[in-house]
Chain A
Amino acid sequence: MLRLRQRGVLPGFRLTLGYALLYLSLIVLIPLAATFARASALSPMQFWHDVTTPRVLAAFRLSFGAAFLAALVNLFFGLLVAWVLARYQFWSKRIMDALVDLPFALPTAVAGITLATLYAQNGWIGRWLAPFGIKVAYTQLGVFVALMFIGLPFVVRTVQPVLEDLDLEVEEAAASLGANRWQTFWRVILPTARPALLTGFALAFARGVGEYGSVIFISSNLPGKTEIVPLLIVTKLEQYDYAGATALAVVMLIASFALLLLINLLQWRSSRYYART
């Protein structure tokens, strides 16, 4: 593990680094720079005014809040699914494995319409929840459900390979040294999977914050209540207010970047910790 921090024996470090930087610039940095340039058309006062109206703040709370909660739930259920897929053999395993990827492949609008249809008052699921007064479609809960659906594969796909690599003997060793099942999970399995879990969480969260297609179909999109930030951006674009739209985008980017950086730091620390022990 410590080796990672050395340059490695293969030549071509400069070439690959140069290529990676070029690629990153073309695909990520230049479009981002353009976004910032567009937003700079606003004066700082105007910028601040645009991104702090009550309606915008409500949208930020919903976008980040729902994405965070959805990623959190996916952290647990994703781990569970990954565990089942990595550890057990059963007849429908391949189908289940493929099903996990479905949210990746499905066009998001299709996912949104499907979820809205399922959870509407007359839908397959919604009609059983309605008698209890639980409404999912067209509420904030609906936004959360859509983001959970979208985010699940990120956690499963990052954690599953780590669990598959984990030798059964490690667990046996822990057991033979006197650890009970809970201790084995908490002190042996979880630390190994932690960096992957954090990555999965970060990916699911980032995707959830930016998600547009599926959410707008299951949300009622009411200003101040169920309106997400990407929709506000689209709304501003429809009014040809490019600067206003990019102002929101810039705030979203900065917030997302800060959170992802934090998660990456956590992950880096936890993998270093793991490498040393």
Chain B
Amino acid sequence: MKALLALLLASALVAMAGAKEIKFLNVSYDPTRELYREYNVAFAKYWKAKTGDDVVVQMSHGGSGKQAQSVINGLEADVVTLALAYDIDAISEKANLLPADWQKHLPDHSAPYTSTIVFLVRQGNPKHIHDWDDLVKPDISVITPNPKTSGGARWAFLAAWAYALEKNDNNEAKARDFVARLYKNVPVLDTGARGSTITFVQHEIGDVLLAWENEAHLAIKEFGADQFEIVMPSLSILAEPPVAVVDKNAKRHGTLTAARAYLEHLYSDEGQEIAAKNFYRPRNEKIAAKYAGQFAQLRLVTVDGEFGGWQQAQQKFFGDGGIFDQIYQH
């Protein structure tokens, strides 16, 4: 027994003296699986070359709100990469694990890549769906997740709202009527983006799926361009999925330097290229130009510009008794 203990101790010491292995946890949302699988490998290589240390990044994926919830309740994330700033705000506010001005710590509101909401329709676009107007026609069936449980669905809701406001000279009552008619055409409200994709793609329900741009591309990649096509509406929303170091956790784990570098490297040419390859719109203009072919140009509104930031948007539209709840009250 004693000998075994000594052996264990010795081997532990040897391990400590050798190349350092840094382990940290990135808590992310659902559609980023492919992106971070590729990026983690690239970052490990980069960090090894720079410092000689090995980095192992562990991933946790799930709905953005649920993931934030887990971090608040004690999941020891060193880094969070979520679907919307509101969820990281919540971590700062409820658990005080990072400063309230976290969004200023990295360029571009801490969102190294962006995305948007597009329409995925069946091959040949049999119902002639070209813009948001077409979604409220009575014979159209729309698939989108529940905005109360899905980050992506919240972006989609706001995009529809922005379109309706503009179309109706900023008349809120008319915009409300527009989105109410849109959600009347939704036969299934899945809880997350992946659930909706399954409903649309595999169960063949609905004429159009309101999807993350990268999910739409993935669906086409996976199931073939002979089944689905992407339709770009005239206007959509600029989704900015933010990233942040969870300072207090990272400090305690001694991973602060590596975790910061991990997020900063997302802005490098290499990081931006990996994002673009996984159908996220890169911030870097050089890389964006290189991949311009896969990202159609369309007019994008922002949450900060159009809705006064996430805190306000959340309360007005998705809070208890908010506009989304009102739609379903009759």
Instruction: Mark each residue of chain B from 92 to 132: 1 if its CB lies under 8 Å from any CB of chain A, else 0.
Output: 00100000000000000000000000000000000000000
B204 contacts A235, C-beta separation under 8 Å: no
Distance between Cα atoms of A46 and B63 in the complex (Å): 29
Sort A-B residue pairs by CB-CB distance and give the 5 closest, nearest first: A120-B203, A238-B65, A223-B328, A220-B188, A221-B189
Binary interface profile of B, 52-68, with partner A (CB < 8 Å = 1, else 0)?
A: 00000000000101100
Q: Looking at chain B's contact residues, is the secondary structure mostly helix, strand, loop, or mixed?
A: loop
Does residue A121 face the partner (Cβ distance < 8 Å to B)?
A: yes
Contact status B191-A234, CB under 8 Å: yes
Interface residues of B in 303-330 (CB under 8 A from A): 318-320, 325, 328-329
Q: Answer yes or no: B278 CB below 8 A from chain A CBs.
A: no
A54 to chain B: which residues have CB within 8 Å?
329
Chain A, residues 203-232, CB within 8 Å of chain B (1/0): the string is 000000000000011001111100000010
B203 engages A234 (CB within 8 Å): no
Residues 100-131 of chain A, each 1 if its beta carbon lies under 8 Å from chain B, else 0:
00000000000001001100111100000000
Query: Bound state CA distance, A239 and B319, in angstroms?
Result: 7
- A sample of 17 more A-B contacts (CB under 8 A), given A120-B202, A121-B203, is A113-B198, A116-B198, A117-B202, A117-B203, A121-B204, A123-B203, A137-B203, A221-B189, A222-B186, A222-B187, A234-B66, A234-B191, A235-B146, A236-B320, A238-B63, A238-B149, A244-B320
Say if the beta carbon of A60 comes within 8 Å of chain B.
no
| Chain B positions within 8 Å of A164 at CB level | none
Contacts of A235 in B (CB 8 A): 146, 148-149
**Chain B 166-192 against A: per-residue CB contact (8 Å), 1 yes, 0 no?**
000000000000000000001111110
Tell whether, in the assembled complex, residue B203 and residue A221 are in contact, meaning their CB atoms are under 8 Å apart: no
A110 to B203, CA, bound (A): 15
Nearest chain B CB to A223's CB is how many angstroms away?
A: 4
* Bound complex: CA A220 to CA B198 (Å): 13
Report how far A120 CA is from B328 CA in the complex, Å.
24
B224 at the interface (CB under 8 A from A): no
Q: Which residues of chain A come closer than 8 Å to B146, judged between CB atoms?
A: 221, 235
